[in-house]
A and B are shown apart, each in its own frame.
Chain A
């Protein structure tokens, strides 16, 4: 547009603004995104004055990938429908996996119980009451073999939400594949393995940051040689958001974590293009529809730019921000749980319009328990309806060019860079985490959000408005059989009786020696796992060398 055109537009806009400024507005108590970015009535070219199509968007599958990482996006291949599942024993979860696969799920995702997430065996005293409750209990290679019994691992990709003990659980999986006759190089999947966000948000850390980062680089190095199709880290904003962050914080802290892993790999002397293509991401899809879409678009653009300019990546694959999305667990309400189906559907739509590669849709009952078969089937059907019925997969990035969406994409990007600068001044992400910076920012945002709900500045249907008095929850809830803990411990004791304990002792000793040296730790971990050392035994051996992380409690 010429200067004159801009002037004309600006004048027309002012005139309109003047005309409507006194009209009453009353549909909502506040006009801002969920993350408190104020929004105007309407957006025009004036809000994206410096917009340059080729520089800012480009084409799908082309730099800077704002519109998507693939040339054909969902016309070429739909996102992977991957429901996070796990409860009870390995047998229970194996059954759930087969149920989901038989109903059109296209990838697996394992939810582990708390003891497993923290590297503890099912018979650990701290595990009491938590075995198989929040996820499936996996204490050894034996449990993993049962978990994937009858599921050929060369035909399916598996994502595992595991962080502190990721190397060990991954070793169990790799060996399960091997026992099925599938060599390491054919296995496809993801380990979350994102320890930085554990200190920030999810809190299933084990070791202090430095040895944790060393293990992660060991994993990246091992994978680039032995398991080339594996995603070695799923750099996760999901948990940051669930802990109460804003969309901007989720974006900024996640990407900053990603940069830190890249820098650690480079420090080790690895060529960035050998490991960067296997880094993937995991974001939250919260309720603010446009803000979420803008977040996904901004994330892709920032990652591509920084990988190229700051880290000198040459391969196109190193620039691609591939991501999994989960709809926001924290947006589910315990009240009137059926309404969660609707919330999840909108959130899933945002993820798809934002160009996700993989998606988990929450089940309506998850504010109360792990999902029943019926509830998880509705959640999966929600994705299938999105994919096949409503036409959103036909056109790539259909909201690209919307004045509002482009404005928000720019705005989120700008705000993210502000955080990058602040964190860099603090000495990087590890220093910032040790100083409690992201943790405090998130706690602040969580408290602010809660206050907004209490003051009715935000309406949550069924919670602070449209409430049912004396509501009774009428949906069925999944119950974990209290026998699970006993059965799981029995199996573990049997394993300890039947294996060669002398060999186990020796392998654990060798592992400790490797941990003290700078040897890649994946090889001795595999050796331990192969002779059926348990998760807890392997992690305890490493704790002797690396110590344990303790966080400072604050509120």
Chain B
């Protein structure tokens, strides 16, 4: 049986216009064989979660360089729960100090990647996640 491609939503929440990283990561993940959707700019948490559910994605990756991560990540998590979509994994990247990372990990956010991350590390992370899911 042919394996279904892992489907990823790369999203830019809030007013942040720094989209270089989001686009580079989206493209890198596509080149690595994933199915990738990119939301474009200025998305509210509602818009992101709705898109994720409509498009039936496996993972959401949030790119945040604006410092609004402590507001946006918890809100996306809350909406995923509210809409019964907790099977969708949430991870992210951007400028997120270690201290905040710890807090977000405790809330249930997946890996948060720093500037300077190799795309291959993100690919490996996603593949491992799904290996675990399959073996569960």
How many residues on the B side are at the interface (Cβ–Cβ under 8 A)? 37
Q: Answer yes or no: B127 CB below 8 A from chain A CBs.
A: no
Is the beta-carbon distance between B72 and A129 smaller than 8 angstroms? yes
Do A114 and B15 have beta carbons less than 8 Å apart? Answer: yes
Residue in A closest to B26 when the chains form the complex, CB atoms: A555
With a cutoff of 8 Å between Cβ atoms, the chain A residues found around residue B20 in the complex are 242-244, 330, 446
> Judging by beta carbons under 8 Å apart, are B24 and A244 in contact?
yes
- Asked if A551 is an interface residue, CB under 8 A from chain B, the answer is yes
Interface hits, A462-486 → B, CB 8 Å: 463-464, 472-473, 477, 480
Q: Tell me which residues from 1 to 59 in chain B have a Cβ below 8 Å from any Cβ of chain A.
A: 10, 14-20, 22-24, 26-28, 30, 36, 38-42, 44
A-contacting 9-mer, from B62-70, B77-85, B102-110, B128-136: B62-70
Chain A residues, Cβ within 8 Å of B22: 555
Interface centre among A120, A368, A453 (most CB of B within 10 A): A368
Q: Are the C-beta atoms of A447 and B116 separated by less than 8 Å?
A: no
| Minimum Cβ distance to chain B for residue A53 (Å) | 40
Any A CB within 8 A of the CB of B98: yes
Interface presence of A527 (CB below 8 A): no
How would residues 98 to 133 of chain A score, 1 for a CB under 8 Å from any chain B CB and 0 otherwise?
000000000000000011011010000011111001
**A129 in contact with B26 (CB, 8 Å):** no
> Taking the complex as formed, is A554 at the interface, i.e. its CB lies under 8 A from any CB of chain B?
yes
Does A540 touch B at the CB level, under 8 Å? no
Q: Is B88 located at the chain interface by the 8 A CB criterion?
A: no
User: Nearest Cβ distance between residue A188 and chain B, in whole angstroms?
Assistant: 28
- B68 near A129 with CB under 8 A, answer yes
Chain B residues lying within 8 Å of A127, measured Cβ to Cβ, are 15
Q: How many A-B residue pairs have CB under 8 A?
A: 105
Q: Please, which residue of chain B has its CB at the minimum distance from the CB of A480?
A: B67
- A333 in contact with B116 (CB, 8 Å): yes
B120 near A130 (CB under 8 angstroms)?
no
Q: Pick the most buried of A115, A334, A552, A555: most chain B CB atoms within 10 A of its CB.
A: A555
- Least CB distance from A515 to B in Å reads 23
With A446-B24, A555-B27 given, is the CB distance from A133 to B116 under 8 Å?
A: no
Q: How far is the CA of A127 from the CA of B26 in the complex (A)?
A: 26
Residue of B nearest to A124 (CB): B15
| Interfacial chain A residues near B66, Cβ < 8 Å | 114, 130, 133-134
A8 CA to B122 CA, complexed, in Å? 57
Q: Is the CB of B14 within 8 A of A130?
A: yes
- Residues of chain B within 8 A of A133, CB atoms compared: 66-68
Q: Is the CB of A551 within 8 A of B41?
A: yes
Is B97 a contact of A368 with CB atoms below 8 Å?
Answer: yes
Alpha-carbon separation in the docked complex, A555 to B10 (Å): 10
Taking CB atoms and an 8 Å cut-off, the chain A residues in 460-512 that contact chain B are: 460, 463-464, 472-473, 477, 480
Chain A contacts of B14 at CB under 8 A? 114, 126, 129-130
Nearest CB to that of A448 among chain B residues? B24
Of all chain B residues, the one with the shortest Cβ separation from A443 is B23
- A120-B15, A133-B68, A367-B115 given as contacts; is B27 within 8 A of A447 (CB)? yes
Instruction: State how many angstroms separate the Cβ of A121 from the closest Cβ of chain B.
Output: 12
Please indicate the chain B residues that have their CB under 8 angstroms from the CB of A118 in the complex: 15
The answer to whether B24 touches A447, judged by C-beta atoms less than 8 angstroms apart, is: yes
Provided the pairs A129-B70, A446-B23 are in contact, do residues A454 and B119 lie with their beta carbons within 8 angstroms? Answer: yes
Specify which chain A residues have a CB less than 8 angstroms from the CB of B119 in the assembled complex: 450, 454
Cβ contacts under 8 Å, B115 to chain A = 333-334, 367
Q: Which of A126, A134, A242, A335 contacts B116 (CB 8 A)?
A: A335
A390 at interface, CB cutoff 8 A: no
Judge whether B44 and A126 touch: CB under 8 Å: yes
A128 CB contact (under 8 Å) in B18, B42, B67, B71: B71
A–B pairs, 27, beta carbons within 8 Å: A114-B68, A126-B44, A128-B68, A129-B70, A129-B71, A130-B68, A130-B71, A134-B16, A134-B67, A203-B41, A204-B15, A244-B20, A330-B20, A333-B116, A335-B116, A369-B95, A443-B27, A446-B24, A454-B119, A473-B97, A552-B40, A553-B40, A553-B41, A554-B38, A555-B26, A555-B27, A555-B38
- Known interface pairs A129-B14, A334-B95; 7 further A-B residue pairs with C-beta atoms within 8 A, sorted by A's residue number: A114-B16, A126-B14, A242-B20, A243-B19, A367-B115, A552-B40, A554-B23
Q: A residues touching B (Cβ–Cβ < 8 Å)? A: 114-115, 117-118, 120, 126-130, 133-134, 202-204, 242-244, 330, 333-335, 367-369, 443, 446-447, 450, 453-454, 460, 463-464, 472-473, 477, 480, 551-555
Task: Give the A-binding residues of B (Cβ under 8 A).
Answer: 10, 14-20, 22-24, 26-28, 30, 36, 38-42, 44, 66-68, 70-72, 95, 97-98, 114-116, 118-120
